[in-house]
Amino acid sequence: MDRKPTPDLSRRATMSDVANAAGVSKITVSRALRGSDLVKAEVRQRITETAASMGYRVNLAARDLRLQQRRRISVIVDMAARDDRPLYDPYPLALLGGIMQECAAAGFAVVLTTSDPRMSAETHDTSGVIVLGQGSDHHTVRALTQLNLPLAVWGADDGVEAEMGAVVIGSDNRLGGALAAGHLLDQGRQHLVFLGDTSHAELADRRDGFVARLEGTSAACVDTRSCDFNSESGRLAMAEVLASGARCDGVFGGSDLVAIGAMQAIREAGLEPGHDIGVVGYDDTPAAAAQTPGLTSVRQDWIGGGRLLAATLLARLDPDRVPVEEQRVLPVTLALRET
């Protein structure tokens, strides 16, 4: 039989004491004692009973002061900076811009980190968390759900994050893939290739939308090559396609960097991007417009996406805020250029 903690009458119990006795974090204790539904009912009951047995009482004046002071949102960029993909790339910088606009308007500061998410959230005493760069590994979201904090994730909803209580917001990647295929079809391309790492839900959706658009036409996706989110990986993947001898007159890169690498491989093979082989990228970064010929690319609303991420999270923090429309998928468009 479990024994309840014996109160130490020699001093007043603190929130840390209750957290240690209940085996949870201080954030969870705080939320449980004010009845937050972010904490499971059985956990709330255990914490409440533990606090009562220890003689702990919430200091309402101190709590109100903390609530006034703690107006921070943590943004975790769940990717490592590399020479071939620095963090100052348009993604995630443009998303951050939208997040900061919305948070600033609501009086919240933004704390940016790429460090361990659990340490970051607890250290900065944050009110909620936004995760950017979530890919095929759900480790970061799993760690954050243990903090019982409101959580929003940018990406594609494959069901895992939603099961863990996170709100997932992203672009319509299937539509983006369909737009890319439609453009290549309009050029008369028949033998198409997709380049990208489909272990990422966003890339899988782009590929699926691409392939679905080709159904019922005379064209086909003749090859799918996995590659990382950088130009060198795209170049190598496209070089493999060309070296295989397979017929290819159109390629869809899962990102602009991948597509730019593919354009380089096409040139190295003595062919001309946009003339011999049509090329479409994804993200519509400044680098796409700077290519010669200009790279056609699927355009995402980065600023709008960032603002929606923040607005959705803030609405979960404050029930008095105007509810955010239940929009989880943002539309995309095609930026037409020479390829």
Residues 163, 241: one domain? no
Same domain, 47 and 188: no
Domain that holds residue 256: 173-299
pLDDT band at 26 (very low <50, low <70, confident <90, very high): confident
CB 234 within 8 A of CB 260: yes
pLDDT in tens, 217-253: 999 999 999 999 899 999 999 999 999 998 999 999 9
User: Domain boundary residue among 26, 49, 66?
Assistant: 66
On whether both 208 and 287 belong to a single domain, the answer is yes
Residues 209 and 292 placed together within one structural domain of the fold: yes
Judge if 137 and 196 occupy the same domain.
no
Cβ atoms of residues 140 and 117 within 8 Å: yes
Q: Are residues 111 and 225 in the same domain?
A: no
* pTM of structure: 0.75
Model pLDDT, residue 332: 97
In a domain, 7, yes or no: no
Within a domain: 8: no
Are 320 and 283 within one domain?
no
Report the distance separating Cα 164 and Cα 118, nearest Å: 15
Judgement on whether residues 108 and 51 belong to the same structural domain of the protein: no
What CATH code is carried by the domain that includes residue 84? 3.40.50.2300
Sign of torsion over alpha carbons 247, 253, 259, 265: negative
Q: What is the pLDDT of residues 137-146, one digit of tens each?
A: 577 777 777 7
- Rounded to whole angstroms, the Cα distance separating 237 from 235 reads 6
Residues 295 and 307 in one domain: no
Q: Is 335 domain-assigned?
A: no
- Indicate whether 185 and 270 sit together in one domain: yes
Q: How far apart are CA 108 and CA 72, in angstroms?
A: 5
